[in-house]
Amino acid sequence: MFSAIQTYLKDISTWLLLLKYLGLCLAAGSSIWGTVNQLTVAAQGGEKRLTSEGVVAISFTILGLLISLASEDLARRNSENTRKAQTLAETKRTNEIIIAGQPLTSLSLHWEFASMNAALSQAMKKGQEDIKENAESSQGGTPAVPFDVEEYSAALLPLISYVAGIGAKNGEVSNADQAEQGAQDSSFVVLVALDASPNAILSFGAIGSGVTWKSNSSARALSSGFLGFYGVREGNSTPRVTADLATMRDVGVSTYAIDWDLDPGTLASVIDRRNAAIPPTANLPKLLKVAIFHDIRVLPFEQHNFGVPHVDVWGKNELNHEKMSFEPNDFSNMILTMEVNNFSDMKYRYSLRSIYEVDLVDKFGDGIDSRCTMLEFEAT
């Protein structure tokens, strides 16, 4: 009851209505007051002088007038704000319709979260030191390890390994250790379904030499999102990591982010499609799914084509999903933002809805020697 009253009083239209009737009540009260009371008395010289009752009546009239004027002004402003909001909503909806019919030509991805996990913080700090040491080893502008390759192994791999390991079961490596061990297991694959089908799959990661594919029938080159892998397609950018680490070693919140700006050439080189005749559009799904493959021995896809899986990776069958639990300190405020076709007014913002592990089983019922952590993001 009390909450309903609070909600009612927070509505601007409620106050406008109250002010309107308050002004009318004051006007009526002033009239009644003047009827039952003597408002003036005759003074010397025939002049009239206000009585105290007359002062009250005039005060009521002036106050009612001011309230009526304020009510009218507020109503006008509220109407103008409503009109502007409707115009903006219509403009946004029109832009959505226009964008939805356009092919996806460029994409800017921003993925961020906060964490109080000390192991991740230490792993990322060590990565920053390794990146700095590699940069300082540069001779004639050429470092011992290419800059982007070093950032992949020292920053991106520990960060993705940490996210993939959240909610590990008993007896398995937890996410607290995944970040430290990430460099030892050099394979991870991140897949982003860019449509609801899903047909268009964006991919990046690292694949070690010991990893095999479920099917070796494809002769296509691998996505350019896999840095340092022989025979990848050509691209102009790679994911980059930023980490704002807490000042205290074991206490405090650190923030992490992955950014990737994909121009038309790079975007085409990192997307695989199940049906090549259907191009990806700028109309991204309301429920965005991100799959992270880790502990990889076999990749359940057609070789170098993440658009053709040999297992049900993206399905809705909850029997194949095992919900993953995690502590509040593991991470918080995980947000994924995507800007399509360099159109800043059409940014898709997603917040994490759920995390679960996908049971990788092929059509014959045989398990796949890899693990897959699925993150579902909901548009906000």
Domain limits at 194?
105-379
Same domain, 293 and 355: yes
How many whole angstroms separate alpha carbon 113 and alpha carbon 332? 6
Return the H-helix or E-strand segment holding 190.
strand 188-193
Q: pLDDT: is 78 or 303 the higher one?
A: 303
Same domain, 209 and 336: yes
Closest C-alpha to 359, from 348, 346, 350, 369: 369
Q: pLDDT: is 352 or 21 the higher one?
A: 352
Residue with tokens 């085409």: 268
Alpha helices in the chain (DSSP H): 2-10, 12-36, 52-100, 118-136, 147-151, 157-164, 175-181, 264-270
How many whole angstroms separate alpha carbon 272 and alpha carbon 182? 26
pTM of the entire predicted model: 0.74
Same domain, 345 and 279: yes
Under 8 Å between Cβ of 125 and 227 = no
Same domain, 326 and 201: yes
pLDDT, tens only, 162-183: 999 875 543 344 444 544 444 3
pLDDT, tens only, 255-278: 999 999 999 999 999 999 999 999
pLDDT, tens only, 38-97: 767 777 666 777 777 777 777 877 887 777 777 777 777 878 888 888 888 887 777 777
The 3-state secondary structure of 84-117 reads HHHHHHHHHHHHHHHHHCCECCCEEEEEEEEECC
In b/e form, how buried is each residue of 267-297, taking b as 16+ CB within 10 angstroms? bbbbbbbbeeeeebbbbbbeebbbbbbbbbe
How many whole angstroms separate alpha carbon 237 and alpha carbon 60? 72
How many whole angstroms separate alpha carbon 224 and alpha carbon 262? 11
The reported pLDDT for the residue numbered 328 is: 77
The reported pLDDT for the residue numbered 338 is: 96
Same domain, 18 and 119: no
pLDDT, tens only, 222-258: 999 997 677 789 999 999 999 999 876 656 899 999 9
Same domain, 112 and 67: no
Number of independent structural domains in the chain? 2
The reported pLDDT for the residue numbered 182 is: 42
Domain C-terminal end among 99, 131, 151 = 99
Q: How crowded is residue 378: how many other Cβ atoms within 10 Å of its Cβ?
A: 13
The reported pLDDT for the residue numbered 13 is: 63
Same domain, 82 and 130: no
